[in-house]
Structures are given as structure tokens and as C-alpha cells.
Structure 1
Amino acid sequence: MTHFYTRSEQIQGIIKGLNLTKTLYVSSIIIGPEFTGKKSLAKSVFPTAPLVSGENQEEIKTALANSDELIITNFEKIKNQSELDFTNKRIIATANYIGNAALIDDLFAFIYTMPPLSQRDKDVAYLKELYIEDAKSTLMIETNSIDTEHIPLDLSLNNKSLKRSVYTYLIKHTMESEDIQEILYYYLLKKLEGNDDYRKYLGLYEKPLIKAGLEKFGSQLKLSEVLGINRNTLRKKIHEHNIDQEL
């Protein structure tokens, strides 16, 4: 069974509305951006309903002929929407955008709007903790020594980018030197082509070293002593890598 996780009052209102239609032959559509959980929500409320995509016209035609209850995803991709007949059907559709608003009004008794995660602070906090636990289990890592409170969260692609940002952060903060060396090895194996590549890729090592040192020690003088290089050389490297503009 598909689970849908939410702490949003607005989303809980959508779930309540869908539950009320379980015994009625009426159709509903959930409209919102990609990766906001529309399909998971529909499957969690109607777990036994067949699921088809608007990208497959023939599959939709067959499913409508054989089922009284149906989930249709990517509804906006259906080319022959005006030919659809939902009479005596319980259709739960999802779409990334409205398309033909008048036709949507004719086909669906209930139209719900799924807001992006950027407007669902409670869900972001809740999903973040779920993804942290999921990452710990999947990657077999401990997070006790990692600051998970200040993970920079990417909400540009909603659930997809949120999960990715949590996983990426935890992977970065649990890497050992051997892991970093192996990543660099495969990256350079793909990129090396000649033409002064030593100088070209030296920044892969120098830039993070200097940035981390400046953040940790707070001064160029102290960092030059720690790294064992001349202060003028350090200042030149900072300028070459535009580090002074980024901190």
C-alpha cells in the first residue's frame, strides 16, 4: 500500500475531500507542480484503483472500458480529453497544470490544488526527518556527529530535490579520504585530455583547501602558516580561484 506523509492542513483537507467521494461516482482532479506527491496521495486514498498515465492513450481507453474506478496521472498529456466519458465512473486524475479550464470544469466535480513544498513548511520539516532516517538506513551511516539541523534544502523540484539534497548532504559529510580520492580518480579519468591539465584541474584540490582553511582559521596570515606557504602566494591563489568573492 502506498503511504502519503503530510502535516499540512491544506493537504489533509484534500485527503478528507477525496475520502468523502469513495462511495460516489464522481470524478476529482489534483492539480499542482511536479513531484509534490499527487500520485502518492491518490494511491494512498484509493489503493485498489488501477493506475494509468495520460501519456498512453490506448491504455486509458481500455482502463475506462474495464474499470469503474481509475487513477489517471499526467492528465494534461491526454490529447483527446474532449472525447472522454466519465459517466458512472470514479476517476481520480492528477495533472501538473490545468490546460483547458472549461473542459476540466465539465469533467470533474472536484478540483484540488496541490501547493509546492515551498508553501508547506510543516511538510518540509516532516519529510526532511523522514529522508534523514531513510538515508541513514539505506546508506548505513550514523548521523550523530553530523549537523542535520542546518542541511541546505533544495525545494526547486519539490520532493525530488528535497530528498536529493538530504542524501547529498549526508554523503558529503560521511566521506573519508579514500572516498574523495576515488571520486576524483573517476572524474579525472573521464576529463583528462592533455593541454596543461595539471594546471587546469589543480583547483579541484586548492580551492576547497583554501576555502575550508579561511573559514576555519579566519585569516590569511594564520592559514598561510598552517599550509606552510608564503602569504603572497596564498593571496594570489585566493584571487585565482575567486574565493574572496564567494566568502
Structure 2
Amino acid sequence: MEHFFTNSDQVQNIIKGFNLTKTLFVSSIIIGEPNIGKKSLARYLFPDAPLVSGEDQDSVTKLLSEVDELIITDFEKLTNQEALDLDNKRIIATANYIGNRQTIDNLFAFIYTLPPLKERPDDTNFIRDRFIQEARSNLMLKRLEFPVEEIPIDLRDNSKTLKRSIYQYLMNHTMKEEDIQEAIYHFILQNLEGNNGYKEYLKLYEKPLIKAGLKKFGSQLQLSQILGINRNTLRKKIHEHHID
């Protein structure tokens, strides 16, 4: 069974609305940005309903003729919305946006708007923690060496970019020296060309070295001594690599 966690009053009101109309053969649609849990919510509320994507026009038409309850995702991708007959059926649709408002009003008794994750901080933290557990298992990390709060939250594309940012952060902060060398090797293998490759790709080492040194020691003078280079040389490299 699909699980769905929320502490959002707006989302809880959507769930209450669905529960109040569960015994009625009326159709509803959930509108909202991609990757915010629309499909998960629909499957959580109606776990036994078949699910089909609006991208598959033939399957939608076939299932509508065979079942009385159906979840249709990506409803905006259906090209024959006006021809659909949803009478005496319970259709739960999800869509990233409303196309023809008049058509949507005619087809659905209830239109719900699911807010994006940036408006649901408690939900975001819960999803973040689940992704961290998943990433730790997949990356075989026994424990975290840093507080969870340090992991950046990227919500530009909701759960999609949130998940990606967590995996990237954990990988970047748990790589060993040989892992870094292997990553650089494959990057250079794919991109090395031209007549000045040595100088061009030296920045793969120099830039992070200088940025990390400045953050760690907070002093150009001290860093130049630690790196064993002239302070003017360090300043020149900071300028070359556009390091703030």
C-alpha cells in the first residue's frame, strides 16, 4: 500500500475532501507542479484503482470502458479530453497544469491544488530523511559524518532535485582519494583535446585546493605559506580561477 506523509493543513484538507466523497461516483483532479506527490496521494487514497498515464491514449480509452474507478496521471497529455464520458465513474486524475479550464470544470466535480514542497517544510524534511536513508543504503554508508541539517535542500524541481542534491552531497563528502582520481580520470578522458590541455585541466586540482584552503584558514598569507607558493602567485591564481 502506498504511504503518504503530510503535516500540511492544505494537503490534509485535500485528503479530507476525498474521504468525504469516497462513496460517491464523482470525478476529481489534483493539480500541481511536477514531483510533489500527486500520484502518490492518489494511490494512497485509492490503492485498488488501476493507474494509467494520459500519455497512453489507447489504454485510457480501454480502461474507461472496463472499470468504474481509475487513476489517470498526466491528464493534461490526453488529446481527447472533451470526448471523455466520466458519468457514473470515479476518476482520480492528476495534472501538472490546467489546459482548457472549461473542459476541466465539465469533467470534474472537484478540483484540488496540491502545493509545492517549498510551501510544505515539514513534508520536505520527512521526504529528505527518507531519501537520506535510501542513499545511505544504496551507497553503503554506515553512518553520516555531518549533521543532516548541513545537506543542502534543492527544491527547484521538488522531490526530483531534492533527491539528486542529497545523493550528490553524500557522494561528494564520502569519496576517497582514489574515487576522486577515478572521477577526474574519466572526465579528462572524455574531454581532453586542444593544444593547452595541461594548463586547462590543472584547474581541476588548483581551484578546489585554493577554495578549500581559503575557507579552512581564512588568510591568503597563511595559505600561501602552507601551499609553499609566493603570496602574489596565490593572488594571481585566485584571480585566474575567479575565486571570491
For the aligned pair, the TM-score class normalised by the smaller chain equals over 0.9
Partner in structure 2 of residue 90 of structure 1: 90
Report the secondary structure of 2:30's partner residue: strand
Partner in structure 2 of residue 25 of structure 1: 25
Question: Which runs of structure 1 show a deviation greater than 4 angstroms over 4 or more consecutive aligned residues?
Answer: none
Partner in structure 1 of residue 242 of structure 2: 242
Q: 1 CA distance for matches of 2:2 and 2:219? A: 53
Q: 2 CA distance for matches of 1:113 and 1:8? A: 13
Alignment of 1:131-210 (within 5 A): 131-210=131-210
Q: 1 CA distance for matches of 2:240 and 2:197? A: 16
Partner in structure 2 of residue 4 of structure 1: 4
Paired residue total: 244
Report the secondary structure of 1:171's partner residue: helix
Q: 2 CA distance for matches of 1:11 and 1:162? A: 20
Alignment of 1:42-61 (within 5 A): 42-61=42-61
Partner in structure 2 of residue 213 of structure 1: 213
For residue 21 of structure 2, what is the amino acid of its counterpart?
T
Seq. identity, %: 63
1:137-163 Cα deviation digits (max 9, x unpaired): 221113442232121111000011111
1:25-71 Cα deviation digits (max 9, x unpaired): 00000000000110111011111111111111111110100010000
1:21 Cα deviation after fit: 2.4
Report the secondary structure of 1:2's partner residue: coil
Q: 2 CA distance for matches of 1:77 and 1:145? A: 44
For residue 165 of structure 2, what is the amino acid of its counterpart?
S
For residue 139 of structure 1, what is the amino acid of its counterpart?
L
Gaps of 5+ in 1: none
1:194 Cα deviation after fit: 3.5
Give the aligned CA root-mean-square deviation in angstroms.
Answer: 1.1
Partner in structure 1 of residue 226 of structure 2: 226
1:86 Cα deviation after fit: 0.4
Greater shift in the superposed pair: 118-127 or 24-33: 118-127
Report the secondary structure of 1:173's partner residue: helix
Q: 1 CA distance for matches of 2:143 and 2:233? A: 38
1:80 Cα deviation after fit: 1.0
For residue 52 of structure 1, what is the amino acid of its counterpart?
V
Report the secondary structure of 2:35's partner residue: coil
For residue 184 of structure 2, what is the amino acid of its counterpart?
L
Report the secondary structure of 2:150's partner residue: coil
TM-score, length-scaled by structure 2: 0.97
Q: 2 CA distance for matches of 1:143 and 1:230? A: 40
1:20 Cα deviation after fit: 2.3
